[in-house]
Amino acid sequence: MINFVMDLIFPGDSIPIPQTAEKGLKLGPGLIHVPETQSIVSTKVGVLGKNKKGNQLWVESNATRYSPAGQEPVIGVVIGRNSDGYRIDIGGAHTASLDALAFESATKRNRPNIKVGALVYARVSLAHKDMEPELECFDATTRKAEGFGELKGGFLTKCSLGLCRRLFDPTYFLLPTLGSKFPMEVVIGVNGRVWVKTPELRHTIAIARCIEAVDEQQLDQEKTKRFLNSLDVV
C-alpha cells in the first residue's frame, strides 16, 4: 500500500520522520539525510510518498530521470561487459555496475552469460552521490533470485517514475484491469520501465499502449476500460 501526503513540498523543506518508522528508514528519490541536524530534507518539488509501514519515504513527481536509491528494484539494459561483470543503463545520470557473481548460485566457474542489449531485473545494492550505483540480481534477505535476473523475450515500455511507483500498489486499478483481460507477465522497475510479456504480440502491444495512455492522459479506471475496448484486441 502506498500513501501520499498531498501537500506539495519544495527543495529545502524539512520532512518529519514518521512515528511508525524504525531504525531501518529508507529514503528514496528526492530526499536526503542531513547528519548535522539529524533531519530529512527534500531536494526536489513533488508530493511526499510513503509505504504502509512508514519506513520508506520518497518524493513523488513526474520526473523521467531516475535517481538511484538503495534496495529499489530496477530494469536495466546491458550496454557493456567485461571479465568482472556488466555495465547497465538504468536511466540515471550514470551507468550502474553489475558484478558477474551478483546472481544466485553464481561462482567463478558458473556465471551467467548475458549479452549486450539484454534486459535485467536487478536490485540497487549501493547508491551514493559520489559513487556509481551497484546492482545485484538476488534478494538481500534470502540471497535467492526471487525473480531478479535476465528478462527474456517480452517488451519494454517506459513511463513516468510516479506511475511506476503507483503500479506497486495492489489497490491501484491499472494492472488488475489489464490482468482481467489478458494473461500476462509484468515486471516493474521504479526507474520508469515496465517489462510486459504475453502469449500474443498484439496483447503485449495493447498493454504497452494502455500504460502509456494512462501515464500521458491521466486516465481513470473507466476511461482506461474504454481505451482498451477501442483497441479491439480483447
Q: What does the mean pLDDT of the chain come to?
A: 88
Instruction: Give the amino acid at 4.
Output: F
Residue 76's pLDDT is 98
pLDDT tens string 77-90 = 999 999 899 999 99
**From CA 124, how far away is CA 122, in angstroms rounded?**
7
Three-state SS across 68-134? CCCCCEEEEEEEEECCCEEEEECCCCCCEEEEEEEECCCCCCCCCCCCCCCEEEEEEEEEECCEEEE
Angle between helices 221-231 and 201-217 in degrees, nearest 10: 140
CA distances from 66 to 90, 140, 158, 162, 190 (A): 8, 21, 12, 11, 8
CA distances from 204 to 70, 79, 209 (A): 30, 25, 9
DSSP single-letter state for residue 18: P
Residue % of the chain over a pLDDT of 70:
91
Q: What is the pTM of this model?
A: 0.81
Lowest average pLDDT, out of 41-45, 51-55, 100-104, goes to: 51-55
Q: Residue 169: CB partners within 8 Å, gap ≥ 6?
A: 1, 2
Residue 20's pLDDT is 60
